[in-house]
Amino acid sequence: MTASVTLVEYAPAISLALPDGVGRALSAGDIVKAAPDPYTADRWSLRAHSKVGAVMATPQGGGAAFIVRVTPKVPIARLFFLLGYSLDPNGWWRDGDVEVAEHRDLLPVLAHAVERQVDRALRQGLLQGYRAIEETGLVVRGRIREAEQIRRRFGVTLPVEVAYDEFTTDIAENRILRAALERLLRLPGIPRDVRRRLLRQRARLADVSTIVRGQPVPDWRPTRLNTRYHHALHLARAVLSGAMAEHMPGELHIDGFLFDMNKLFEDFVTVALRETFRGSAHTARLQDPCHLDDGAAIRMKPDFVLYGPHGSPCAVADAKYKAEKRGGYPDADLYQMLAYCTALGLREGHLVYAKGNASHAAHRVRHAGIVIHQHALDLDQDPTGLLADIAEVARRMTEP
C-alpha cells in the first residue's frame, strides 16, 4: 500500500507519522523542509517551500512507497501559462492548446500537454536527419579514421575504423522526445488514460535510442525542417530539466519531478520583458554578468539588463518570487538592486515581485540619488492582464 501526503507551497508545516529514513531522505534531497518532531517519536514536521510537483520514496528491498505531492499557490492554469510563455512566448500555452480544467495537479497537466504536443509533432511521421557515426567495421563506409586505425590496429587492415553520416530517425530531436516520455512514465500521479496515451507515443519512437541516465540531453537547433517539433521539444526540455536526479540515500530510492517556482517566475518575468522590447531600439540581455569592483573580483548577474541604442545599459530588473510581508519587502533585495545600479552606472533599478500590497512603490536612496522601484504582479489574473502589467513595468523602465 502506498502512503501519501499533499502539501501546499509555503503553507504552514504539518506534523505526521513518517519513517525516519523517509524523513531524512526528504530533508537531504531539499524536497521539502523536514525536521523530526522534538516532542513525539516517529513524527516529522514537513513544510513545502518553492518547489512544486511530486516525489516518491521507495524502499530498495521492497515495501510500501511514500509519495509527497506539493501543489502551487497559484492555479494550475496560471502556472502552466507562466511555464509555457517562458519556454515559447508564441507557442503551445495559448488558450485551446492545453486543457487544464480537468486536472488539479501539476503532473497530470504536464503529462497531458507533452502527449498532445508529441502527437502533433509525429503526425507526419518521425523526423529524419543526418547523424555522425564513428564505428569499427569490416567494410569501408564513409571515410577511414586514419589516426584511430593506426592507434588501435597497428597496421592491420581489418577491422577498419570509419566515420560516416547516416540518414536516420535516431537524431537528437526524437531522442529528446523519447526521454521526456520515459521520464513521465516513471513518475507518480499520472492518470491511467494519460499514461496509456504516453505509452502509445513511446511506441512510435521505439526505434530511437534512449538517453542513458547520467548522460547530458543532446542539443537541438530550431530550423525550418524541424518546425513541427518546436513546441514539443520546448516542453520536453522542461520535463527533463525539472526532473529530479534519481538518487538512493541509504535504503531508499527517491524519484520525482519538481518545478522551482523561484526559477519559473524569474524566467517568465525576464522573457516577458524581453518580448515587450522586441523590435525596439533596445537590446535585452538575461542573466547578464557584471562586476561591482574595479578588480572584477565581485561578480554579479542581474536577471535582466536593458541596453540602449548606443550599447550602454539603461535599465536593470530583478525578479523575486515572494510576497510582501507585513513589514514590507525584504531589505536585502533593495541592497542587491542598489549594488546593481552602482555597478552599471544607473540612476534607477526595478524589483519585480510575485505579489504585494501595492502595485508599485519607489525609494530614493540617500546621498546616492538612485531610485529603486518595486513592482508587484498579481499572478491570479488572466494572461492578458498579467502581460499588461509586465508592459507597465517596461514602460516605467524606459520613461525619462
Per-residue pLDDT of the chain (400 residues; tens, 9 = 90+): 578 888 999 889 998 888 777 888 888 777 888 888 887 778 889 999 889 988 888 876 666 778 888 988 888 888 888 988 998 887 655 545 555 555 567 888 889 889 999 999 999 999 998 777 777 766 677 676 767 766 776 766 778 776 767 678 989 999 999 999 999 998 888 889 999 999 999 999 999 998 877 778 888 999 999 999 999 999 998 888 875 545 555 567 777 888 899 999 999 999 999 999 999 999 999 999 999 999 999 999 999 999 999 999 999 999 998 755 545 567 889 999 999 999 999 999 999 998 866 678 899 999 999 999 999 999 988 889 999 999 999 999 998 7
Of the candidates 83, 129, 132, 131, the residue with the CA atom closest to the CA atom of residue 106: 83
Query: At the top level of CATH, which class does the domain 3-73+246-258 belong to?
Result: mainly beta
Per-residue pLDDT at 137: 67
- Rounded (5°) CA angle 89-93-96: 135
Query: CATH 2.60.40 occupies which residues in the chain?
Result: 3-73+246-258
Contact 235, 196 (CB under 8 A): no
Contacts by residues 332-338 (CB-CB < 8 Å, ≥ 24 positions apart) = 334/363, 334/372, 337/372, 338/365, 338/368, 338/370, 338/372
Residue 342 confidence (pLDDT): 96
Which pairs count as long-range contacts for 216-220, CB under 8 Å and 24+ apart, including other chains?
Answer: 217/176, 217/179, 218/172, 218/175, 218/176, 219/172, 220/172, 220/173, 220/176
Q: How far apart are CA 205 and CA 356, in angstroms?
A: 47
Which of 102, 17, 4, 19 lies closest to 54, judged by CA?
A: 4
